[in-house]
Amino acid sequence: MTEPPIVAQHLTKTFGDDLGISDVNLVVEPGQVFGFLGPNGAGKSTTIRCLLGLYRPSRGQARVLGQDPATGQAAFLADVGYLPGELRLPERLTGSEVLDTFRRMRGGHHTAYEDELVERFGAELTRPVASLSKGNKQKLGLVLAFMHRPRLLVLDEPTSGLDPLLQDEFAALLRETIADGRTVLLSSHDLDEVQRVVQRLAIIRSGRIVVDDTVAALRASAPRTIELTFDHDVDAQQLASVPGVTLHVTTARHVTLTHTGAAAPVLTAIAPLQPDTITARPADLEELFLRLYGGTTHAR
C-alpha cells in the first residue's frame, strides 16, 4: 500500500518560550487538494516549513513523499513544487532568467508545459523582478511551482494578488493536477477559493488542528440559517425550545434563526406561526470558520 504524500504525527515546534504549533496530526492522501486553513499567525506557515525541512520540529515527526524532512536529506524536494506565502525572487533577474535559473537547479530542461503555464497566467518574462507588481511576481511563482510537474505541490496563499479571472484559471489548473494523480496542499484564508477546489481540509487555530474533515461533511454538520417573514405579529420565542435552534433576530414580523440536526422538528414548530415567506440556506465555510474563531470551543 502506497504511503500518503504527507503524514504528520504530533508535530510540535516551539521558538524559545513561544509555541508555534502543537501536536499537529495530518494525513494528505494522493490525488486530492487538501485545504489548510487559518488566519495569519495560526501556524500554517510553521507547519509547512516543518514539512519541507526548513524547520526541525521540537517534537513529533513528519514524512513527505516517504522521507523524513528533519533528517536533512532533501532529495524528495526535487518532486515538490513550493510557493511560499512571502515570495522572494532574485530582483535583478528577468522573469525568463528566473525560470532558467530554477530549471538548471532542478537539472531539468525547457518544456512545452512551462510555455503553456506562462501563457495561461500571462507571466511577465522580459522585465526585472524588481519592477514587477505583487500580482506579476505571484504569476511567476505559480509557473515555478508547477512547471516541473511535481508529485506534490505545497502552495501558501497562492492566489494572493491575482485578479478573479486568473483565480479561475488557477482553479482549473488544480483540477487538472489532481486528475493527473498528483497532490496539492493548499494553505489559504480565502474561504471562497477553498470551497471551490478542496475535497478535504484542516483548520488550525492557535497552533492546533481544530477541524479535519471533508468539505461535504463540514457543510452537512454546520448550522443552517432560516429567515421568516410574517404578514401578522407573532411571538417566535417558542422556537428557541426546539433542539438545535438558536434565535438571532426576533421582531413581531421578522425572525432569523440557525439550526443543526434534522429539519423536521424546526419546520413542525414553524408551521403554526404561518409565515408569509421562508428562506433557508446551508452554512458555508466562512460561517463555520467564523464560528470556530469567534467562539471559545475547539471542534474536533
**Which CATH number belongs to the domain containing residue 32 in this structure?**
3.40.50.300
State the average pLDDT for the chain. 90
Question: Which whole number is the average pLDDT over 206-213?
Answer: 92
pLDDT at 131 over 70: yes
Do residue 158 and residue 270 come from a single domain? no
Residue 238 belongs to domain spanning: 223-281
Given a cut of 60, is residue 300 above it in pLDDT?
no
Between 284 and 180, name the one with better pLDDT. 180
What's the pTM value of the predicted model, to 2 decimals?
A: 0.82
Residues 122 and 231 in one domain: no
User: 217-250: buried (b, 16+ CB within 10 Å) or exposed (e) per residue?
Assistant: ebbeebbbbbbbebeeebebeebeebeebeeeeb
Question: Is the same domain home to 156 and 12?
Answer: yes
Tell me whether residue 299 is in a domain.
no
CA angle 191, 193, 195 (to 5 degrees): 70
Whether the predicted pLDDT of 285 surpasses 60: yes
Q: What pLDDT does 292 receive?
A: 67
| pLDDT exceeds 70 at position 294 | no
